[in-house]
Amino acid sequence: MKKLVTLCAVASLTLLLAMASLASAKTTFVTIGTGGITGVYYPTGGAIAKIVNQKRDVYGIRATVESTGGSVFNINAVLSGDLDFGVTQSDRQYQAVKGLEEWKDRGPQKDLRAVFSIHPETIVLCAAEDAGIKTVADLKDKVVNLGNHGSGTLQNSIDALVAVGIDPEKDIKAEYIKAAEAPGLLQDGRLDAFFYTVGNPSGAIKEATAGKRKVRILDVTGPGVAKVVKEKPYYAEATIAISDYPGAANDKDVKTFGVKATLVTSAKVPADVVYAITKEVFENFDQFKSLHPAYAHLTKESMLEGLSAPIHEGAMRYYKEAGLLK
Ligand code: GLU
């Protein structure tokens, strides 16, 4: 009898293992590159993963999220095949496709594909009240974090500084640390200010403005900035609602400029995978929108704007099917 029980147990275990390996053989693992965990990319990757993973039994897709250095890192990792998808700024998508800025030496990145746009991102400039910084021009001689190499933020900070006549290499003490560390360093007095291109509200800016040291979110405006925004097709004027950051020293909305967060992939990623992700996000649009306050003003149409790379064929299949594109 004991022998029979053992035999049955072994048999059912074997069956279970066989079933498990069959299921895993059918699972496609997909990784989405995001940003620092106190940004909006990280929860955005989480929102996309959550929505597609709900249909795991239909598509066999298991999406996971990776915290990364941001836009530029994500584009390069998607192109090298280290990531399947990446969240990236619309300006960086434009530059990669055209072979500009970080891609100047390597030329146009032909395999980059757009999936959809997501939330608006603003150039957020946080400065400590006691550092006496009232405008971007006051950043001269200050310790300012411009963003890590690999972030999208870095080039935006440089553009903002150059626009007001500040040389980022000579006129300030530039730091290149990750956005997730900047709020703590600002509070500790090791930074006077930092830039972060991010959706609102974000955990990082909340953290920066909620500490003991009073922190102001500055306007990033003026004739120089207006000129850059006019010249570069990927920039647009933007406003940060100060109600997003009740801890900030200022109580007026902030005028700045911004870009859009977008989802990109590579031409090498199978169409069925891109189709499934696109379809699930669009068909569960209300659920998706409820997953982060930065998505408050998203519309399906706005998610098709701001894309410079060719739309991936899998995403295109869905947009045509849904009548969103011809
Ligand atoms: N836009 C930022 C960057 O690429 C990341 C923002 C975020 O993580 O929400 O540098």
pLDDT digit string (tens) for 64-121?
999 999 999 999 999 999 999 999 999 999 999 999 999 999 999 999 999 999 999 9
228 lies in the same domain as 266 = no
Our answer on whether the CB atom of 152 is closer than 6 Å to any ligand 1 atom is: yes
The reply to whether ligand 1 has any atom less than 6 angstroms from the CB of 93 is no
Of 215, 237, 259, the residue that ends a domain is: 259
Q: Kindly state whether residue 67 falls inside one of the protein's structural domains.
A: yes
**pLDDT at residue 1 greater than cutoff 90:** no
Beta carbon of 36 within 6 Å of any ligand 1 atom: yes
Q: What's 17's domain CATH number?
A: 3.40.190.10
Of 224, 240, 259, the residue at which a domain comes to its end is 259
| Residues 149 and 181 both lie in one domain | yes
Looking at the structure of the chain, the number of domains it has is 2
Residues 125 and 249 in one domain: yes
- What is the position in ligand 1's atom list of the atom closest to the CA of 70? 4
- Choosing from 117, 121, 122, 156 the residue with most ligand 1 atoms within 8 A of its CB, the one to mutate for a pocket test is 121
Domain around 244? 121-259
Residues 224-275 have pLDDT tens digits of 999 999 999 999 999 999 999 999 999 999 999 999 999 999 999 999 999 9
- Return the percentage of the chain with pLDDT > 70, whole number: 92
Establish if 326 belongs to a structural domain: no
Per-residue pLDDT tens digits for 38-60: 999 999 999 999 999 999 999 99
> Is residue 85 located within the same domain as residue 11?
yes
**Could you say which of 233, 259, 285 is where a domain stops?**
259
Give distance in angstroms: CA of 198 to centre of ligand 1. Answer: 5
**φ and ψ at 76, to 5 degrees?**
-65, -40
